[in-house]
Amino acid sequence: MGMTSYCLVIKANGYTAHSANDINYLENNLICINKSGYIVKIYSPDDEAYCKVQSFALDNGLLYELKPGQYLLPGFIDLHIHAPQWVNMGKALDRPLEQWLQEYTFPLESRYADLNFAKENYQHLVHTLLANGTTTAVYFATIHREASIELGRICLALGQRALIGKVSMDDREFCPEYYRDDSSKSAIEETRLFINQLRELSGNEENRILPVITPRFVPTCTPELLAGLGELARETNCHVQTHCSESDWEHNFVISRYGITDSHVLNDFGLMTRKTILAHGNFITDDDMDLIRNRHSGIAHCPLSNFYFANCIFPLRIALNKNIHTGLGSDISAGYSPSIFEACRHAITASKALNDGVNSMLSNEKRGNQGSAITFKEAFWLATGGGGQVLDLPVGQLKEGFFFDAIVIDTNIFGSDIFIQNDDVPLDILQKIIYNTQRVNIIDVWVGGKKVMFNNKLDS
Ligand code: GUN
Ligand code: FE
């Protein structure tokens, strides 16, 4: 095919992580994208064909060159976000999980029976996430099929890559009458319909949005429902998402109901697959970790939400050492920020707190959990390639064969909090980008080679 297949060539300085400890700085590279939105070739100035490709791109109007002070990154991936809870973001954080769900969250989510309410809120949410650099989002919607499909339509219209789950919850003890599936049978049937309907939405010919089987968490689901959804996962090969061992209450509730931990319950019902995303996993045991790794399932680490609801800090270092697929989630509205840059910072800060410990009344050797701290490089990996690995999709890296899902960070823009100095080496600049990027710095966003934001505005 060669050069004639290129539809877009980006000339940029940029960064990409190929693993937790392998960060690559791309200097003046040419990133060549085909009409299906994949990166087909990356040339560095040392490559023989570099000049020829650059001239070809220029002559054919395909070249987009970043300006000094601008850097290309893979788009960020939010592995766990509750779309309907957008309305509650930044409030109602004053109760433990089980009360927060009953008092604030279920009442809000039940309102998405109203399609107009859903449309308005989902539109604002998807736009805001794109503006914050989230090119792929993994959404919990609500129990309502119509509103969940509407979220899919909005992602297609605004250009975000998304994995979307219609939530399943049928347990009559835990779920209020006004917000639950009528029965396990109807929950399974509605999920099946949702999967087919979402896959076949017009505009989704390239599967930019994907359905996710979504048992909310073990406490809200009957065994019949979990079994049916496991069967559906096998049948449809869909992604699966749920919450796992999130808080003291939740973890112990599952042990008292089943005598085993969340991950084993999910596994017994066929819900632990290569494409399963477990939110939190804060209390997973060594044995749970082995199970998760052996199943090649993934974890959405939600560090901000964990400060409010988890009662502990996720043992991220141990998960990374065990090579468990891991990425980051905002967990809105249990987390109050839509930014995965913020999630990077909170992951680093949480790991530092775990490393050093937090109780000044304890002597320093008893206070912390030495070796727990993670680096900004590891956080960058989690936000990008790590998320892509969890999803088993070619996203999260600037690499041949991956989708061109990318963002441009402008460090010079008016109002920037990033301050680069002459003696900053490339890794210093990446570190400053991770710590200090704000929405104003994220000027361009592409998903699948298609520009969805330009100069900080939706490209419509
Ligand atoms: N567990 C079950 N549902 C939820 C939810 O909406 N948010 C969080 N953080 N945990 C949950
Ligand atoms: Fe959650």
3-state helix, strand, coil in the chain (%, to 5): 40, 25, 35
Q: Under DSSP, is residue 319 helix (H, G, I), strand (E, B) or coil?
A: helix
Q: Where are the alpha helices (DSSP H) in 81-144?
A: 97-100, 106-110, 115-131
- Residue 105 Cβ contacting ligand 1 at under 6 Å: yes
**Residue 54: CB partners within 8 Å, gap ≥ 6?**
9, 11, 30, 63
| Ligand 1 atom with least separation from CA of 82 | 6
Residue 417: CB atoms within 10 A of its CB come to: 12
* Integer Cα distance of 149 and 135 in angstroms: 19
Of ligand 1's listed atoms, the one at least distance from the Cα of 247 is 10
- Which alpha helices (H) appear in 200-300, and where do they start and end? 223-236, 248-258, 262-268, 286-295
Nearby residues of 51 by Cβ (< 8 Å), 6 or more positions away: none
Choose one of 143, 217, 283, 336 to mutate for the ligand 1 pocket test, by most ligand atoms within 8 angstroms of C-beta.
217
The whole-number pLDDT of residue 175 equals: 98
Q: For residue 14, report the distance from its CA to the centre of ligand 2, in Å.
A: 32
CA 74 to centroid of ligand 1, rounded, Å: 28
From 406, 332, 437, select the one nearest 159 (Cα to Cα): 406
Query: How many angstroms separate the CA atoms of 154 and 174, rounded?
Result: 31
Q: Which atom of ligand 1 is nearest to the CA of 105?
A: 6
Å from CA of 392 to ligand 1 middle: 24
Compute the Cα dihedral for 180, 182, 185, 188 and give only its sign.
negative
- Of 312, 321, 260, nearest to 293 by C-alpha is 321
* Whole-number pLDDT of residue 101: 97
Three-state SS for 323?
coil
| Integer angstrom CA distances of residue 447 from 159, 411, 414, 453 | 7, 21, 25, 9
- Distance CA(277)–CA(240), nearest Å, equals 6
Ligand 1 and 100: CB distance under 6 A = no
User: What pLDDT is attached to residue 454?
Assistant: 87
Q: Is the peptide bond before 460 cis (omega within 30 degrees of 0)?
A: no
Phi-psi region of 36 (alpha: psi -120 to 50; beta: other; left: phi over 0): alpha
The Cα 236–Cα 241 span in angstroms is 14
331: left (phi over 0), alpha (psi -120 to 50) or beta: left
DSSP 287: H
Q: Of all atoms in ligand 1, which is nearest to the CA of residue 335?
A: 9
Domains of the chain: 3-74+398-458 (2.30.40.10), 76-391 (3.20.20.140)
pTM value? 0.98
Answer yes or no: is the C-beta of 246 below 6 A from any ligand 1 atom.
yes
Overall residue count recorded for the chain in this entry? 460
| 10-residue averages of pLDDT along the chain (460 residues) | 92 97 97 98 98 98 98 98 98 96 98 98 98 98 98 98 98 97 98 98 97 98 98 98 98 98 98 98 98 98 98 98 98 98 98 97 95 98 98 98 98 96 97 98 98 80
CA atoms of 53 and 21, how far apart (whole Å): 31
**Interval between CA 139 and ligand 1 midpoint (Å):** 12
The pLDDT assigned to 385 comes to: 98
Residue 129 CA to ligand 2 centre (angstroms): 17
Q: What is the pLDDT of residue 1?
A: 62
Helix (H/G/I), strand (E/B), else coil: 110:
helix
Question: In whole angstroms, how large is the CA radius of gyration of the chain?
Answer: 22
The answer to whether 443 and 156 have CB atoms below 8 angstroms apart is no
Q: Probe ligand 1: pick from 85, 220, 246, 262, max atoms within 8 Å of CB?
A: 246
Q: How far is the CA of 329 from the centre of ligand 2 (A)?
A: 9
pLDDT of residue 460: 53
